[in-house]
Each structure stands twice: as C-alpha cells, then as structure tokens.
C-alpha cells in the first residue's frame, strides 16, 4: 500500500494536469486555437511535446530493461542515430509542403495530389491504427500501475484515461503541449532521482556502476553485423530508424499537428531537429538507469527472479525506494506522465483528423468555428472512450496478441511514407493509384511480419518501398492501357 505522502504527490500531479487544461482552455480561440494553438506555439514547447509524445510508459520502463539482460548494452541508441537523420530529411523534403496554405492535418497534402478518396483513406488508416495502438499502450501502462498500486486493471485504465480525456477535451492542443512539457520534466526528474538513489545504495557509488558497465560490456553501442533479423544493429538503426522517423514525424498527424502549431517553417524545423538530439540523450539516460539496475542486482540479488526484464525498474521502485518521502509518488507520477503524454496527443490528433479530413470538407462554411470546436471536443471524448475500451479488452487477451496488434498499428509509418513519396513524384495522381499502392504496401508488410523473421526496425523501410514501387508499377500499367492519370477523382 502506498504511503499517504506518495499518494498526495500523485494526486497533486493529476490535479495540475487538469488545472492546465482548464487554464489554457479559456485562451483557445476558434478551431485553429483548439486544434493548432492559434499557430503560435513556441518552438521549445513543441520540442518538449514531441519528445514526451514519443515516450510512452513502455519506453520509460522497457528501455532500462535492455542493458539489464545478460548480453544487453547501449545498442538501442543506434536507432536514435537513425531518428536524428530521419528528422533532418523530414525538414528538408516534407515540412515545406505543410506550410503552403492553412492546413489542419497532414493528409490535406494528399487531397491536392490524389483527391479526397486517398486523403480520407490515409486519415482513416491513421485513426484505426492510432486508437488501437494507443489503447493497447494504455493497457500496458495500466498493467504497471496495477502492480505498483495494488488495484484492479480496470481502475488503473479508467484513472489514467479519464484524467487524460478531461484535460485534453478542455484545453485542446495547448493543454496537450503544455502538459507534455510538464510531463517531460517529471519523467526525466523521476529517472534522475531513481538513478541517484541507485548510486547511493552501492558501495562506491558511481565508480561501481562505471566499472561494472565497462567490465560487462554494457556501454557498447555499435553492432556492425548485417543481419536483418536483429533489431539493434548499425544498419537497422541507421536505415530502419531513419525510415521509421520519416513516417512517424513526417506523415503522421500526431506529430505534424504540433509542427503546424508553430505557424511557420523555421520554428517548426528547429523544434523537430532539436528533438532528435534530446531523444538521443533521453534514451542514453534510460539505458544508463538499466546498467545501474544490473549493477545493483548483481551486488544485491533479488529474493525472487524477474518475470521479464521490463519488470526490473518497476520492482526497484516498489521495493527499494524509501516510503514516506514522496519519491515513490514522484516516480509513479513519471509513469503516469509517460502514459498520458502519448494518450493526450493521440486523442487530440484523432479529433483533428476527423474534423479536418471528414467533417470540414463536407460542412465547409455552413458550420461556425464554435460548431467545429464542439465537434472536436465530442470526438475527443469518443476516442477516449474507444481507447479505454481497447485497453480493458486488451486485459483479457494474451500478451502475444497485444504485441501483434501494436506491430500492425506501426505498419502505417511505412505505408504513409510510401504514398507521400509517390505523390511527390507526380503533380497529380489518379486516386485509384494511391489506393492500390496503400493496399499493396499493407499486404507486403503483413507477409513480412507473419512469414519472415525480419526485425521490426526494417518494416517502415519495407512498407515505404513496397507502397512506392507498387504505385509506380500500377501507374505505368494504367498508362499502357490508356488510362488518364492526370485527373483527380
């Protein structure tokens, strides 16, 4: 049972999150204010929001488990190198297109190249994958909180989901971004506090950790073997990580929405480029926590074995941190923060996709800004309920099914990147070409996932190439048959 002081710390954090939503909600003016922050969000706040959004509870707790395992090391950082390169390519190739005109969503670019059918198909793919994936991430976060708090899974899901819905619904993207910044500070502070407490319990503190890491090869980062079945190699990190980031940060509405909130290309580019450096340093911190945990449990063996490497950090929090000082409450707030930053971004981005890609093209000027904002709030609530439902149902299926669903949700990065690349090759493309390309990319990825052992960092690259190649092949075939590919449908 948590000490009252730790419970108080947790309650204060949740209250602050809701207060921010109420406070900034009064300053959100109109649809652009609600969905894009009036296109006046500072670049450094967008940076913090980007980093917090891509850091889920699974990241906060699972990354330290990687160097903890017997042969684990800093190899995960190779992916972060690809993330930095991918961001630079997004700034160079994709970002300028989003600041031509007054777009609400990333998929409006597809409307100008393919027509409304592909725009809606891309947006629908985003909505399905995002809400399925983030609903299951909510389930994974609730599993951790269930172990720590000792209450039912459903209560944990409802607690995290309800608070996130409230502040997202009230304040829109401003509430999401400013809460993300607070959450970033909290989970980084939580990791640093845990690290300091780890070092203080070891005989020679930091010296012991460094020596342990060197002796056991924990600080090794580069793995040069060209093995496509291994996820953490130089080539998987450089190529796979870059393609994954091109898809997630260049074509995914959840990230593009933040960049549009900057109002112009220069601050959006600065936020995106700097976020790559911050993510690299953040992952290095989490990995160092994992090395420290390996050192700690090597000197003080646990009284029972760990079920998984992911459970190491959470057990240290529960069993080793001193109660009554608010430290456990702070770390739990960090776990909540990592979960809520991803979920709030997902809810707001999903609402903006529905309004920008489905409702606004249909209603046009017949609806006022207030009606559009109210619709955004209603859809925020709807998607919140959907994700809570997915999380609760996820508690009754096997872990392998959950991981499969999360993998399928991640396929959209490659498919979207491929269809955007196809659009850049033609001024205008028949909508059927875009739809065939997307379907072909999805089929190839399903085959790769189920019939091969290719590691997941390669999936975005494979999906992008398959989507682009199939679209170009179909376009040439259609041209040979005399179809006119210059008109939009």
**DSSP secondary structure of 37-82:** GGG---HHHHHHHHHHHT--HHHHHHTTHHHHSTT--STTHHHHHH
pLDDT per residue as tens, the chain (489 positions):
678 888 888 888 888 888 888 887 666 678 888 888 888 899 999 999 999 888 877 778 788 989 998 889 999 999 999 999 999 999 998 888 888 867 778 788 888 888 888 999 999 999 998 898 888 888 877 877 777 777 888 888 998 899 889 988 888 888 889 988 988 998 898 889 889 989 999 988 899 999 999 999 999 999 998 899 998 999 999 999 999 999 889 888 889 889 999 989 999 999 999 999 999 999 999 999 999 999 999 999 888 888 778 778 888 887 887 777 787 888 888 877 888 888 888 999 999 999 999 998 888 888 988 899 999 999 999 999 999 999 888 766 645 444 555 566 667 889 999 998 888 776 667 888 889 999 999 999 989 988 999 988 899 999 999 999 999 898 888 778 777 665 544
Domain ranges of the chain: 4-394, 411-489
Yes or no: domain 4-394 corresponds to CATH 3.40.50.880: no
> Which pTM was predicted?
0.89
DSSP assignment, residue 107? T
Cβ distance 123 to 379 under 8 Å?
no
Enter the DSSP assignment of 322: P
Q: Can you spell out the DSSP letters for 81-149?
A: HHHHHHHHHIIIIIHHHHTSS--SSTTHHHHHHH-HHHHHHHHHHHHHHHHHHHHHHHHHHHHHHHHHH
Q: Residue 453: helix, strand or coil by DSSP?
A: coil
């Amino acid at each position: 049972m948590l000490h009252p002081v730790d419970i108080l710390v947790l309650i204060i954090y949740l209250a602050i999150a809701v207060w921010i939503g109420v406070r900034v909600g009064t300053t959100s003016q109109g649809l652009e204010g609600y969905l894009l922050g009036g296109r006046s969000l500072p670049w450094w706040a967008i940076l913090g929001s980007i980093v917090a959004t891509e850091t889920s509870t699974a990241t906060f707790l699972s990354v330290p488990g990687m160097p903890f395992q017997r042969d684990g090391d800093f190899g995960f950082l190779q992916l972060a190198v690809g993330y930095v390169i991918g961001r630079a390519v997004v700034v160079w190739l994709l970002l300028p297109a989003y600041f031509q005109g007054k777009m609400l969503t990333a998929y409006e670019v597809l409307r100008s190249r393919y027509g409304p059918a592909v725009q809606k198909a891309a947006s629908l793919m985003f909505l399905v994958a995002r809400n399925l994936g983030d609903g299951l991430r909510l389930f994974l976060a609730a599993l951790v909180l269930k172990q720590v708090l000792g209450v039912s899974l459903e209560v944990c899901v409802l607690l995290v989901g309800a608070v996130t819905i409230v502040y997202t619904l009230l304040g829109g993207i401003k509430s999401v971004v400013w809460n993300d910044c607070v959450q970033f500070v909290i989970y980084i502070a939580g990791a640093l506090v845990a690290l300091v407490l780890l070092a203080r319990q070891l005989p020679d503190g930091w010296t012991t950790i460094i020596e342990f890491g060197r002796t056991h090869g924990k600080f090794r980062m580069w793995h040069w073997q060209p093995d496509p079945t291994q996820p953490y190699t130089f080539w998987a990190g450089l190529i796979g990580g870059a393609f994954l980031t091109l898809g997630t940060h260049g074509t995914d509405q959840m990230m593009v929405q933040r960049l549009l909130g900057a109002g112009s290309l220069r601050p959006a580019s600065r936020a995106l480029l700097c976020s790559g450096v911050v993510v690299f340093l953040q992952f290095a911190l989490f990995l160092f926590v994992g090395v420290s945990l390996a050192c700690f449990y090597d000197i003080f063996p646990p009284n029972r074995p760990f079920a998984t490497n992911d459970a190491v950090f959470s057990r240290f929090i529960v069993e080793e941190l001193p109660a009554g000082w608010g430290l456990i409450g702070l770390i739990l707030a960090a776990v909540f923060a990592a979960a809520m930053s991803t979920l709030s971004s997902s809810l707001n981005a999903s609402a903006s996709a529905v309004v920008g890609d489905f409702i606004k093209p249909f209603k046009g000027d017949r609806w006022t800004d207030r009606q559009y904002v109210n619709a955004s709030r209603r859809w925020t609530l709807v998607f919140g309920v959907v994700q809570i439902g997915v999380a609760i149902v996820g508690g009754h299926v096997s872990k392998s099914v959950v991981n499969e669903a999360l993998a399928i949700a991640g396929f959209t990065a490659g498919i979207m990147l491929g269809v955007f690349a196809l659009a850049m090759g033609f001024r205008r493309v028949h909508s059927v070409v875009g739809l065939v390309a997307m379907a072909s990319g999805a089929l190839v990825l399903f085959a790769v996932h189920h019939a091969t052992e290719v590691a997941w960092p390669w999936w975005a690259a494979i999906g992008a190439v398959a989507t682009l190649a199939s679209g170009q092949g179909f376009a040439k075939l259609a041209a040979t048959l005399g179809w006119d590919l210059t008109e939009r449908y």
